[in-house]
Amino acid sequence: MNMELSRRAFLRTSGAGLAGTTLGAMGFGEAEAATAAYIKPFHLANTTETRNTCTYCSVACGIIIYSKGDLKKGEKAEIVHIEGDADHPTNRGTLCPKGAALRDIVHSAQRLQYPMLRKAGSDSFERISWDVALDKIARAMKDDRDANFIAKNADGTTVNRWLSTGFLAASATTNETAFATYKVVRSTGMLAFDNQARV
């Protein structure tokens, strides 16, 4: 038996089977069939399971996102349920209240889904593309570093510091991404470097 594959399916079907079998043993044969018929169209049936990581903190709990809609058929995927991943070594299926409410952040009207820019003098934000956003960030970083980079201190010792810009990294990343982020940020000389998980 493939334990990796069958664990959740086992729990799902064994729950149905247990309820039905127990009722059957008590002489409620029709109730057993009714229970099975009720459970069959359960809201997770025919959904696509996608593994991911909780976005909130550095514990990085494993989650499973259940969605309806077949992308291969051009349908729009709709997330209908999110729960802890029972096979994930960090949380083994559990989620804290924030993680348990993850589906709400997905469907929240306040959710930020793309880069927004508030131009100087404006009182509102407008949507911009990722290309525009990244170009603007890169330009601002380069200009600031060129203007404020400190190569040597007052004693003439090489320090290579960039103190006028900070970097806030995300916590829902892999070790490899975190390592690469650290190297890039530190290689610029930036000292103010923190993580979303501490905010």
Are 77 and 66 in contact, with CB atoms under 8 Å apart? Answer: no
Which residue's CB is nearer to ligand SF4, number 23 or number 63? 63
- Give, in order, the Cα–Cα distances in Å from 78 to each of 35, 113, 176: 27, 15, 30
CB of 54 vs ligand SF4, minimal distance in Å = 3
| By CB under 6 A, residue 185 contacts ligand SF4 | no
| By CB under 6 A, residue 56 contacts ligand SF4 | yes
Please pick, from the candidates 36, 80, 96, 169, the single residue that binds ligand SF4 as defined by CB under 6 A.
96
Please list the residues that pair with 81 across neighbouring strands: 66
DSSP 27: T
CB of 63 vs ligand SF4, minimal distance in Å = 8
CB of 6 vs ligand SF4, minimal distance in Å = 25
Please pick, from the candidates 12, 81, 98, 161, the single residue that binds ligand SF4 as defined by CB under 6 A.
98
| By CB under 6 A, residue 23 contacts ligand SF4 | no
Q: Which amino acid is at 162?
A: W
Tokens of 142: 């380069």
Rounded to an integer, what distance in angstroms lies between the CA atom of residue 26 and that of residue 24?
Answer: 5
Please pick, from the candidates 65, 82, 95, 190, the single residue that binds ligand SF4 as defined by CB under 6 A.
95
CB of 12 vs ligand SF4, minimal distance in Å = 22
Are 194 and 58 in contact, with CB atoms under 8 Å apart? Answer: no
Are 163 and 170 in contact, with CB atoms under 8 Å apart? Answer: no
Which residue's CB is nearer to ligand SF4, number 20 or number 84? 84
| By CB under 6 A, residue 20 contacts ligand SF4 | no
Rounded to an integer, what distance in angstroms lies between the CA atom of residue 187 and that of residue 75?
Answer: 44
Where along the sequence are the contacts to ligand SF4 (CB under 6 A)? 54, 56-57, 59-61, 91, 95-96, 98-99
